[in-house]
Structure 1
Amino acid sequence: MSTNRPIKILHVVGAMNRAGTETMLMNIFRYMKHEGITFDFISYSQEEAHYDREIMEMGGRIIRLTKTNSVKAIYETIKHYGPYDAVHAHTLFHCGVALLAALLAGVKIRIAHAHTTSDDTSTLARKVYTTIMRPLINALSTQALACSEQAGRYLFGAKKVQKSDYTYFPNVIEYEKFLSKPEASVNRFKMEAGCGKNLIIGHIGRFIAAKNHEFLLDVMKYAVKKEPAIQLLLVGDGDLRAQIEAKARSEGLTDNIYFAGIREDVAAMLHSMDVFVFPSLYEGLGLVLLEAQACGVPALVSEAIQPEADLRVGLVSRKKLSDGPKAWADEIIELSSQKETNTSKIKAGFETNGYSLPKAINALIRLYNPETGGAYERHIDHLF
């Protein structure tokens, strides 16, 4: 393969922990590295994140910064570790800081990527910050990407999503890895959790306010009255975990809830569930909902989940949070017998809706390096 030099990209993130955006980036990096395409990551966490070690093993760098709004710090990073073909920022309105540093450092390709539909804008300072940053991002980005139309509108504004330098970029997963049920892993987990043949509903997500774990516990209070053996599986970790565990104890739900923590065997977790529950207050897309559908698990989601995450294979049901926890509990029990076992139907849903990892990788390569990207693109295809 003849290119002048390997493509080298700097991603700006909060921390590379196991979450939707970060998992998608790792899915892409694992294939791109086979062709010598390198990702470095600016991280604002001083602690080792879930994917840090794997990134370094694949030849990428984790560059830890402390001053979140320092243009100078990012500029110096680019000059020291570059040159970079592109800077790709994923940090909401902070993208403006990263893109300004990239412009000053001479980076020609500057990408802002929208991943969420809301933010804490309750304070005056935050409102002023977002008011300044939105036009700055639009002026400095050479390409705007969004995982859903609503996420794009939130970060860039309604006018931007109509322009040629805006692209809907679906969050992609290696869905083939989820299609087959890993029987041995599922059985091991059920023994570990002590849930056996119980009706299992589940949720995967960080313990943060947006994921609405408290509402899930309220749902469980009604669900156990109808199905005493029902089990709630909570996968993930986060700042609010201790608070949710305390509420579970105070509500007398300890025997009906299993806190699994951060897990590598996500497919086994999902295949263990009879229903996936996603009551978020806001979401950019909801990558884990794609994983749940890949496993054939019916899902009950809030109105905050973006329509792009529904593969239209009959597995996603919507309910308003205002309907209340009892209505959610009733719906969950009704959905518990509706798993989809037709993997061909699920696979067609992914492809029809644009969730193709090869296509996503090739699209990014063309954005990262328009001049030589085509040479890489032809080689990426053979990896799938």
Structure 2
Amino acid sequence: MKILQIINNLQTGGAEKLLLESIPLFNKDENITMDLAVLNNNDAPFLEQLKKKNPTKIFILSKKSPYSPSNILKIIPLLKKYDVVHVHLFPSLYWVALAKLISFSRTKLIYTEHNTSNRRRDKLLFKIIDKLIYSQYSKIITISDDVDKELKKHLKFKDSKFELIQNGVNLNTIKKESGYLKSELAKGINDNHKILVQVSSFTAQKDQKTLIKSLDYLDKNVIAVLVGDGPLRSECEELANKLNLTDRVFFLGIRMDVPKILKTADIVVLSSHYEGLSLASIEGLASGKPFIASDVPGLKDIVNGAGLLFPDSDYITLAQQVSSVFKDNFLYSELVNNCLAKSQMYDIKNTVHKQINLYKWIT
């Protein structure tokens, strides 16, 4: 069976990380040949990693914006070569569906919905267009209960159109990794610091600002290490400067050694306004450190009963929780054990197995 995955690019992100980790596992199945198409290269770090670890074919459709409709014409020839095309993220969602419509292709399409919300769902015109676009897909994978509920409410399709398959991470990679010396993370960090690590893009969906603000209510030896990049990074840097926290907030940018950084943390945090099923949160659970996250869709179900949850944007409660964890060794150990146990539910091998069964079923 020949499968093609299509995504905007392989910049760092949850959907992108899923493909980086899962494509090599799919290709270990003797009945599967899986290739990848990206709408643009964009010097994507995950793309370079995938090239090194897997002999899969990679099609780079353009050096232009993924939002260019010209991508439709470049997708059409690819549809003829595969039994199933599995699509991720907007605008790939639209371009593949339109390529199928224009070409009258019989190739089966699958789309994975990675988020509980997006700006299109608030606009009447896009609600109508979305129904046409999503109808071109044989199956729509939803990655969590929240994503499933919200998308069904938006599209009003029959339940049989949807398949809930949770995303996962490579737990073995995280388990085998060891941490850095704290002083190796960045200039200005020493072994006396208590390190809070957040791994996420700097976008409106995420909320690094709440973590930064919480430092004002914590001992001065508590610092925040922020991994990732994005359009709102400069705003976070300005906030740290405004609060006189530049010596306590460290911006590491995009890193390929995230498991090693998580192992160096004292507490892993994910402050966000909403998620689909956050792979960063699963990595946080699996890190062997206490995990604290926002009580928002896409996080609360994962973290509840394992780590700690704080109200969206509530930096004072976040600071109180961090203080409690540092002061109570029993609580610290209990959170670690509970988080590790919960992470076992999200092994990427389970995700791959369920998706292979779905490919077989629709063909």
TM-score by length of 2: 0.85
> 1:21 offset after TM fit, Å?
1.1
Number of equivalent positions: 354
Q: Say whether residues 1:280 and 2:280 are aligned partners.
A: no
In the superposition, relative to structure 1, how do residues 92 and 305 fare at CA in structure 2: closer, same or farther (>3 Å)?
same
Is the deviation greater in 112-121 or in 61-70? Answer: 61-70
Partner SS for 2:45: coil
Q: Report percent identity of matched pairs.
A: 22
User: 146, 164, 170: which one pairs with 2:166?
Assistant: 170
Q: Deviations over 1:203-250 (max 9, x none)?
A: 110111211122222212222xxx111111101111111221122112
Aligned to 2:23: 29
* 8 Å CA contact retained: 1:148, 1:308: no
Unaligned runs of 5+ in 2: none
Number of the residue aligned with 1:381: none
1:300 deviates by 2.0
Q: 2:114 matched to which residue of 1?
A: 115
> Residue 357 of structure 2 is aligned with which of 366, 369, 372?
366
Give 1:357's match in structure 2, choosing from 345, 348, 351: 348
- Residues 275 and 297, structure 2, Cα contact 8 Å, conserved in 1: yes
Which letter maps to 2:342? Answer: G
1:189 CA displacement: 3.0
Tell me how far 1:190 sits from its aligned partner: 4.4
TM-superposed deviation, 1:357: 2.5
**What secondary structure sits across from 2:119 in the alignment?**
coil
Residue 93 of structure 1 contacts residue 133 of structure 1 at CA under 8 Å; is this kept in 2? Answer: no
Which residue pairs with 2:260 in the alignment?
268
Q: Following the alignment from structure 1 to structure 2, what is the Cα–Cα distance between the partners of residues 344 and 250?
A: 38
Q: Tell me which residue corresponds to 1:254.
A: 246
Deviations 1:96-146 (A, max 9, x none): 442232353524321121111122359xxx714421233224422111101
Structure 1 window deviating more from structure 2 (110-119 vs 49-58): it is 49-58
Counterpart in 2 of 1:235? 227
Alignment check: 8 A CA contact 2:97 2:137 kept:
yes
Partner Cα distance (1:232, 1:307) in 2:
20
User: 2 CA distance for matches of 1:231 and 1:370?
Assistant: 50
CA distance in 2, matches of 1:113, 1:263: 25
Alignment RMSD: 3.0
Residue type of the alignment partner of 2:317: A
Residue 143 in structure 1 maps to residue 139 in structure 2: yes
C-alpha change, 1:68 and 1:16, in structure 2 (3 Å) is closer
Match of 1:83 among 78, 81, 84: 81
Residues 321 and 300 (structure 1), Cα distance of their counterparts in 2 relative to 1, 3 Å cut:
same
| 5+ residue gaps, structure 1 | 1-5, 373-384
Cα distance, 1:55 vs structure 2: 3.7
Letter in 2 for 1:367: L
Q: Give the aligned residue type for 2:250.
A: Y
In the alignment, structure 1 residue 333 sits paired with structure 2 residue 323: yes
CA distance in 2 between partners of 1:215 and 1:178 (Å): 27
Question: Once the 2 structures are TM-superposed, how far is the Cα of residue 56 of structure 1 from its aligned partner?
Answer: 4.1
**Residue matched to 2:150:** 154
Q: Note closer, same or farther for the CA distance 1:345–1:299 as it changes in structure 2 (3 Å cut).
A: closer
| Counterpart AA for 1:32 | F
Structure 2 residue matching 1:51: 3-state secondary structure = helix
